[in-house]
Amino acid sequence: MKVLANDGISKAGEKALKDAGIEVLDNRVAQDHVISFINDNKVDVLLVRSATKVRQELIDACPGLKIVGRGGIGMDNIDVEYAIEKGLYVINTPTASSKSVAELVFGHFFSLARFLHESNRLMPLEGETHFDAMKKSFSKAYELSGKTLGVIGFGSIGQEVAKMGISLGMKVIVLTRKPQKKVLTLEFFDGQSLNFEITSTNDMDAFLKEADFISINTPKTNEYIIDTPQFEKMKDGVYIVNTARGGVLNEVALIDFIESGKVAGAALDVFEKEPNPEVLLLMNPALSLSPHVGGNTVDAQEKIGVELAEQIIKIKETIK
């Protein structure tokens, strides 16, 4: 069996595959040449992340392909249903990067609440000449403890965000399309654990009126979850982080509500026009920004690689 990890795979994942007698090709093939490479090299498994697209054309043109894998949660760059119809196995790693994304959410929340995103830009430029003025302007900061964390979406990432909020002493509320109940387990360094039962709501208005900090953790949507009507119903001075997908939040409306003071600050890891975000977003001092790196930690990539390898090895045994 041959595996093309076209967008990369961790060393641990590569080792697991090789130990199972599976050949791993470490080539990086441009999208236009992926089909010919797969066919010329008799590739059985194509592994991708965000860069490589697996559309119907590729699936039809590569009859020898047996498995398509996505290193991560979202599968919007793969025509999943079509691939399954054509008899391919489609795999992903829905929980491997959840902690990494959740930690980024709180990295942005802390940065916004303490003005770190802005002070890190200004200190090198004005720290020597305007130190006291900046100290005063950045003094109206907030703790997260005791505040209400609103989590939109209750999948694996949303659950990790909720658990981190609980650990910081926040009140956690969750918004889902249909109310649901989940038990979250917080595990500690000494082996102790605590269970917290969370029941989500589908009452958007009540949710928005209560939340001080909002984290969006949903799959890709066809329309905005957060648009002008939703912004209008939020608390004054709310903080928002989007690590989900570009297009779940109206970025133009976001700027308007930042300028009006309704939104105290926001963070974006994903963008509607990715990979070319609007300049107005990039230049806005009330925004904390990152280039779609939610799951990009060494830890997450190790887990992703190993989980993909384990699934491929298991499938290999079934199709002998």
Residue 184 near residue 196, CB atoms below 8 Å:
yes
pLDDT at 155 (0 to 100):
94
166 SS3 class: helix
- How large is the angle between the packed helices 156-167 and 98-113, nearest 10 degrees? 50
Residue 253 host element (H or E): helix 251-260
Are residues 113 and 70 part of one domain? no
Are residues 10 and 147 part of one domain? no
Are residues 271 and 303 part of one domain? no
Residue 68 host element (H or E): strand 67-70
At residue 288, what are phi and psi to the nearest 5 degrees?
A: -100, 125
Instruction: Provide the domain limits for residue 84.
Output: 2-94+298-318
pLDDT at 26 (0 to 100):
79
pLDDT band of 74, cuts 50, 70, 90: confident
pLDDT at 220 (0 to 100):
86
The yes-or-no verdict on residue 61 having pLDDT over 80 is yes
Are residues 232 and 121 part of one domain? yes
Are residues 167 and 106 part of one domain? yes
pLDDT at 103 (0 to 100):
98
pLDDT at 261 (0 to 100):
94
Distance of CA 147 to the CA centre of its chain: 23
Residue 207 near residue 179, CB atoms below 8 Å:
no
Residue 10 near residue 305, CB atoms below 8 Å:
yes
**What pLDDT digit, counting tens, does each position of 239-261 carry?**
999 999 999 999 999 999 999 99
Are residues 250 and 119 part of one domain? yes
CA–CA gap between residue 131 and residue 168 (Å, rounded): 30
**What pLDDT digit, counting tens, does each position of 182-236 carry?**
999 999 999 999 999 999 999 999 999 999 999 999 988 889 999 999 999 999 9
Query: Minimal CA–CA distance to 214: which of 177, 253, 185, 173?
Result: 173
Average pLDDT across the chain, whole number: 95
Q: 10 Å Cβ neighbour count for 251? A: 21
Q: What positions carry a catalytic annotation? A: 245, 274, 292
pLDDT band of 301, cuts 50, 70, 90: very high
Are residues 167 and 110 part of one domain? yes
pTM comes to 0.89
CA–CA gap between residue 226 and residue 272 (Å, rounded): 13
Are residues 118 and 89 part of one domain? no
Query: Minimal CA–CA distance to 287: which of 299, 302, 273, 271?
Result: 271
Are residues 163 and 81 part of one domain? no
Query: Minimal CA–CA distance to 120: which of 243, 288, 232, 261?
Result: 288
Query: Minimal CA–CA distance to 267: which of 259, 258, 256?
Result: 258
Are residues 139 and 189 part of one domain? yes
What is the domain-level CATH number for residue 90? 3.40.50.720
**What pLDDT digit, counting tens, does each position of 115-127 carry?**
999 999 999 999 9
Q: What is the DSSP string of 90-119?
A: EEE-TTTTHHHHHHHHHHHHHHHHTTHHHH
Are residues 48 and 195 part of one domain? no
The yes-or-no verdict on residue 320 having pLDDT over 70 is no
Are residues 108 and 179 part of one domain? yes
**Tally of structural domains, the chain:** 2
The yes-or-no verdict on residue 19 having pLDDT over 80 is yes
Q: Is 81 buried (19+), middle (13-18) or exposed (0-12) by CB count in 10 A?
A: exposed
CA dihedral defined by 21, 26, 30, 34, rounded to 10 degrees?
A: -10
**What pLDDT digit, counting tens, does each position of 256-282 carry?**
999 999 999 999 999 999 999 999 999
